[in-house]
Structure 1
């Protein structure tokens, strides 16, 4: 399995060679948030992944959450649009370097128990108070912080 390496405003980052829409789900249950520990880099994140042809982006968020966590969700709103051109993700398995393009939805759990998958080594309902101590990419931290502290959707600035 390859690794995922995130670069943020890094002059040594490889140039993006693709843009692929992705969707994530911020799933909150009381004072906990559903998070995965990624198998490709060991960082914690919200469930999510790349958009597939033939599905809506909202379906992507639901599908990826079920695949990565075993938890079925219902989307309830929008956390925001995250498309920073200075954040690129290098997938070493195929040398793809994607520019960030993620829509994060708010969601509530419907059924299922947290269960790891091939993309996650751990899946947990993490207490909000514990999130700051978890190893996490800054893009995930930004998205989670926004979801926890704001009600209006995040929209990227128009200038780079």
Structure 2
């Protein structure tokens, strides 16, 4: 399925859906952050995705992390709720979503970074190297909030 992201773009189509999603910001013992390069946009992002019926938001974040990166992680803290009405994601099937993400903080407990159908790159990135990566502004906000140590909880 094709996907186009709009961020603070007056040409963005009007949203017709609000879908709960969860992200997991995983850091290793050296403080590096787990990122995946999305096949659909080519940008680097935190692992995350749409919550399934019957699972909690935290379970969604852990599942998406494993599916998208090969890393088994556990949730250690809550980062915030991100629901920015100027972040629109349009899908080729006609769904146009307004961003709604619940973001958690986690740590790895197993697995190996692995590419897959959704991610053509997976790596650990030290905070000082983040500027070398094409990261969507919404992900940069979440990473920045984490690095500042001031979790907004609601954004």
TM-score, normalised on structure 2? Answer: 0.95
How big is each residue's C-alpha offset from its partner over 1:89-130, in whole Å with a ceiling of 9 and x where there is no partner?
Answer: 1122x1211010001100000001100110000101112111
Tell whether the 8 Å contact from 1:6 to 1:137 is kept in structure 2 after alignment. no
How big is each residue's C-alpha offset from its partner over 1:3-27, in whole Å with a ceiling of 9 and x where there is no partner?
Answer: x222122211000010100000000
How big is each residue's C-alpha offset from its partner over 1:60-97, in whole Å with a ceiling of 9 and x where there is no partner?
Answer: 000000000111111011111100112111122x1211
- In structure 2, the residue matched to 1:141 is 140
SS in 2 for 1:5: strand
Are residues 1:105 and 2:104 paired? yes
Q: What is the Cα-based RMSD across aligned positions, in Å?
A: 1.1
Are residues 1:75 and 2:75 paired? yes
Structure 1 gap segments, 5+ residues each: none
**Number of residues of Structure 1 aligned to a counterpart in Structure 2:** 154
How far does residue 153 in structure 1 lie from its aligned partner after superposition? 3.5
Runs of 4+ in 1 over 6 A off after TM superposition: none
Are residues 1:21 and 2:55 paired? no
- Distance in 2 (alpha carbons) for counterparts of 1:71 and 1:151: 26
1:46-125 maps to which residues of 2 (within 5 A)?
Answer: 46-92=46-92, 94-125=93-124
How far does residue 154 in structure 1 lie from its aligned partner after superposition? 3.4
- Distance in 2 (alpha carbons) for counterparts of 1:21 and 1:96: 14
- Distance in 2 (alpha carbons) for counterparts of 1:66 and 1:48: 9
- Distance in 1 (alpha carbons) for counterparts of 2:120 and 2:151: 32
Tell whether the 8 Å contact from 2:145 to 2:151 is kept in structure 1 after alignment. no
Structure 2 gap segments, 5+ residues each: none
